Amino acid sequence: MKGRAEPLPVWELLDVASPRERALRATPFVGREEELNLLRGHVRRMARDGRGHVVTILGPAGVGKTRLVQEFRRRTEDVHILRGRALPYGTGVPFWSLGEAIREESGILFGDPLEVARQKVEDIATQLEVEEAAPALRSVLGLGAEGRDLTREELFTGMRVFFQALAQRSPLLLILEDFHSAEDVTLDYLEHAADWTREVPLLLLILSRPELLERRATWMGGKRSATTLFLDPLAGEESRALVQAILGGKPAPEPLLDQVRARAEGNPLFMEEMLRALIERGTLAEEASRWALTVPMAEVAIPDGVHAVIAARVDALPPTEKQALQDAALQGKDF
């Protein structure tokens, strides 16, 4: 498949098996209520006024962008949700993330023959009464030539008509992730979309690392229907609350927790993965009413970064499981 030349890091595919690990995967929602209320306010205004908005959520890896959106989705009703993810920068697949949303709405499966996929595009365009958008949708999805290359304006118009029709049928939440690596033409389209979202009930959430602003210093600048939301690391008390929630509320040795919080610097993913690693290695053991260290505090080693934490967890797996992860990394997130 085009765009899969680089294997994914195996830690992006790492899963856990034990009941304790599965419980730890349900990351508690801590310290983001204000941001959550802002997003919910946009949904209320969208339902009341029929007008949409674009919200760009910026923050470093692991700071909680996806967790915020996950909680937002859990508390949001009566909206139609589509998602897409940008490929790594430079893969040469424009509109991939938007194509994922179109593919999902059309019911296209990756194993569908070309003619079946093309027919599904025709069907959804007919259902939405936007048959004129079908050529642009097929082009975005790479479903064969239209007799000529469509212009940028034709592609932009076709996608606009499609998403507007979806939003008119039912309020639409479109979630686009990893947009620090999106192709330039895709970023152009989203800045163009901010000009017409006010016309329809469409809430567009764009998740990105701050590197996006290095590429687009004036991102969404001056657009009335666009907001940029910066996620900062958790503050001290929020970090403490998150660690306690991850550990089920049971007390743990404070010197250890102080080190975890200091090393994580308010990054929720880092705190969670450090605690998982300590539990997996048997360094931190759960007892009836508390967590206890199984080695002296001086012998506890905490990795310097989240990738180092998860890489250590991968290295500790049995050989067959490690090999499975390496094979899965070559396939990608669809594995």
* 97-148 tens-digit pLDDT: 999 999 999 999 989 999 999 999 999 999 999 999 999 999 999 997 666 7
For 156-160, the CB contacts below 8 A with 24+ separation are 156/189, 156/192, 157/133, 158/132, 158/133, 158/134, 159/95, 159/98, 159/102, 159/133, 159/189, 160/192, 160/193, 160/196
pLDDT of residue 146: 67
* 52-63 tens-digit pLDDT: 999 999 999 999
* 141-161 tens-digit pLDDT: 999 766 678 999 999 999 999
Given a cut of 70, whether residue 334 has pLDDT beyond it is no
- Higher-scoring residue by pLDDT: 309, 253: 253
* 233-268 tens-digit pLDDT: 999 899 999 999 999 999 999 999 999 999 999 999
**Average pLDDT of the chain, as a whole number:** 87
Given a cut of 70, whether residue 313 has pLDDT beyond it is no
Closest CA to 177 of 86, 95, 99, 90: 86
Are residues 120 and 108 in contact, defined by beta-carbon separation less than 8 angstroms?
Answer: yes
Helix, strand, coil tally for the chain in percent (to 5) = 50, 10, 40
